[in-house]
Structures are given as structure tokens and as C-alpha cells.
Amino acid sequence: MIEFRGVNKWFGALHVLKDITLSVEPREVVVVCGPSGSGKSTLIRCINGLETIKDGDLVVDGQRLGDRATNMTELRTEIGFVFQAFNLYPHKTALENVTLAPIHVRKIARAEAEASGREMLAKVGLGDKFNAYPSELSGGQQQRVAIARCLCMRPKIMLFDEPTSALDPEMISEVLDVMVGVAEEGMTMMVVTHEMGFARKVAQRVVFMDAGAVVETGTPEEFFSDPKTDRSRAFLSKILRH
């Protein structure tokens, strides 16, 4: 579904992605973790073209990014992206947020889009917030609207860029619960997160990155109980200490 082959990227002189080779199968859930600045956000932002790669191949849903034949705008409709800062449209209600792309990109009739938008919002536990503006919602609620916004496009892939890092602790679980539900329905997911409970519960694989390179991959079981490298051990001891 997603395949990186020898991908490199630089920000100026900074080598942010170093020779990444990694593939994600359909219906697979992969958690990406690593210290801040390790390139994990950049990695998943490349998948929907929010960042461009310098060399190597990146094939998403059978299409090679950067090819003339690849229509990036079309490909993006198949990829949901959840941001750390939610990025809901502040001038639109929850329902308008989730129906905007279905109506304008998928060209679904408004009534139909609103019906499935309501259904999706109810599914993430916001059945009573259709007409609320983002500023009237808590962080956890906003992030759930953002997830519903992606799901309304019926994507093939969902990418999550630190979806709970901007949340107060008591709101993290309501967002993780929704993500677990999405994973259990068989979505192909790449999730940048330090929520190890989530990784243990639904991830098939954990990818550990440091300084722009993939240092270690393994099942959550292997990775957490028996990390292979010094860097992953050092990282785990830091995030699991508390």
C-alpha cells in the first residue's frame, strides 16, 4: 500500500530522511516512534505530498509520487491525514468541516454528504455537536471531528501525525479509542505517536526512527520487551520511566 525504497530528503543542509526503505501492507497498522527531530513527521508527510522527497521511490496505492502520471490531488483524496494541531476550519461547524471535501471533491450531493457526516460524527461520539464551531469544542472533541473529517472521504489510508500530543491527558484516551475503532475496521494506518498502549493494542509493527533513519522495526511485543539497539533502549527508558 505504501512503499519507501531508498528515500532521501534534505532541508537545506540537514539530511532529514536517510535512505528509508519501508513498506506498509494493506490493512496494516504501523506505529512510528522516535525522539523529536528524528524525521518521523516528515516521513508520513511525504506520503501525501505535504513534503516532497529528493531521491528514491515512494509508491502509494500503486502510484509513484513525483511521476507525471500521478495526480497528487486525486491521490490525496484516498489518504486521510490527522494533524497534531487538528487544523479544523474555524469558520465552519463540525458538520461543515466533515462535509466540505465530500461535497466539493467527491461531488456527493449535499443531503447525502450531510447524512453520512452526521453518522460519522455520531460514530466518534459527537452526535450532539453537529452545529458547534471548533472554538466551542475541547481539544479531544476537535481531534475526533478531524478524524471524522478524514473518514467521511472513505480513504484507503489514514496517517496520524502525533494526534494526541497537543491534548490534555484526560482527553487522550477518547481520541485513542476512536483510533482503535478505525484500526479494528481494517484501515491501513501509519501513526506517529508515543502512545505505547495504543501500539501494543492495535499495531502490527513498530518503526523506531532516530536522526532521519529507520533504526529498528519489529512487532510491538519484540520492540517493547526486547529492543535491539542502544538508541531504542535509551528512547524507551525515557518515555516509559514515568
Which x/- pattern, by CB under 8 A, does the window 15-54 give for another protein?
A: ---------------------------------xxx----
144 lies in the site for another protein, by CB under 8 A = no
Picking from 132, 136, 143, 37, the residue whose alpha carbon sits closest to that of residue 88 is 143
Indicate the helix (H) or strand (E) that contains 33.
strand 29-33
89 lies in the site for another protein, by CB under 8 A = yes
Cell numbers at 144, concatenated: 475526533
Q: Which span sits near another protein by CB under 8 A: 12-20, 120-128, 148-156, 220-228? A: 148-156
70 lies in the site for another protein, by CB under 8 A = no
Nearer to another protein, 104 or 238 (CB): 104
136 lies in the site for another protein, by CB under 8 A = yes
Indicate the helix (H) or strand (E) that contains 173.
helix 169-184
Give whole-number Cα distances, 55 to 58, 59, 215, in Å: 9, 13, 20
Number of amino acids touching another protein (CB under 8 A): 28
Indicate the helix (H) or strand (E) that contains 200.
helix 196-202
Nearer to another protein, 87 or 219 (CB): 87
Picking from 129, 128, 140, the residue whose alpha carbon sits closest to that of residue 97 is 129
- Point out which residues bind another protein (CB under 8 A): 48-50, 73-74, 76-77, 79-81, 83, 85, 87-91, 100-101, 104-105, 133-136, 149-150, 153
